[in-house]
């Protein structure tokens, strides 16, 4: 049976409860955690929180896909290009490594593209083509120069259709 890591959106602040409930159902699940020192007015305390709030990762087959919805707190699968987002084993290993080494980590959604980055277009008419970020404009749009047969074309594409190479 072919299994993949997928990401689930879960109810706010329920990641650990959802993780435990999924594991009770014998579903392989994971959330990367970090330890932070929180300061209140009267005390300091170490608090363990998810690195990526609102997400739980599961390794599951397509046949077992609907099983996760029997767990309270599971909202939906994270989707990408119209299908469940598949998380690479290597990406899960990176998260586990960061967690185990206790690195200070801060995250944010979305990938920043910089001028000169080589990207692959993941959706639309130019899917599969590579390009070069030649200009960026606001948070939603990148201009990509695609070079083929000595011709340069600039196209305006949403960032979510691009992936750094």
Residues composing the chain:
165
Please check whether residue 109 lies inside any domain of the structure.
Answer: no
Number of domains in the chain: 2
Do 82 and 125 fall within a single domain?
A: no
Domain boundary residue among 76, 101, 126? 101
The reply to whether 16 and 77 lie within a common domain is: yes
Cβ atoms of residues 107 and 95 within 8 Å:
no
pTM attached to this predicted model: 0.69
Q: How confident is the model at residue 149 (pLDDT cuts 50, 70, 90)?
A: very low
Taking the C-alpha atoms of residue 89 and residue 156, their distance in angstroms, rounded to an integer, is: 32
Greater confidence (155 vs 140) lies with 155
Do 90 and 64 share a domain, yes or no? yes
Domain co-membership, 22 together with 71: yes
Check if the beta carbon of residue 27 is closer than 8 Å to that of residue 18: no
* Terminal-to-terminal C-alpha distance of the chain: 30
Same domain, 81 and 52: yes
Range of the domain at 58: 3-101
Model confidence band, residue 97 (pLDDT cutoffs 50, 70, 90):
confident
Whether 111 is in a domain gets the answer no
Residue 36 included in any domain: yes
Specify the DSSP element, H or E, that contains 19. Answer: helix 15-24
| Distance separating alpha carbons of residues 37 and 40, to the nearest angstrom | 10
């Amino acid at each position: 049976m072919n299994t993949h890591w997928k990401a689930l959106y879960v109810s706010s602040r329920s990641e650990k409860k959802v993780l435990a409930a999924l594991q009770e159902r014998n579903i392989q699940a994971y959330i990367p955690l970090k330890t932070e020192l929180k300061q209140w007015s009267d005390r300091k305390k170490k608090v363990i929180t998810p690195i990526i709030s609102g997400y739980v990762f599961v390794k599951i087959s397509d046949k077992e896909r609907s099983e996760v919805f029997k767990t309270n707190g599971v909202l939906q699968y994270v989707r990408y290009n119209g299908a469940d987002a598949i998380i690479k084993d290597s990406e899960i290993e990176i998260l586990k490594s960061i967690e185990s080494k206790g690195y200070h980590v801060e995250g944010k959604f979305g990938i920043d593209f910089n001028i000169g980055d080589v990207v692959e277009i993941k959706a639309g008419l130019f899917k599969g083509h590579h390009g070069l970020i030649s200009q960026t404009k606001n948070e939603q749009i990148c201009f990509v120069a695609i070079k083929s047969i000595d011709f340069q074309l600039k196209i305006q594409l949403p960032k979510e259709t691009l992936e750094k190479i």
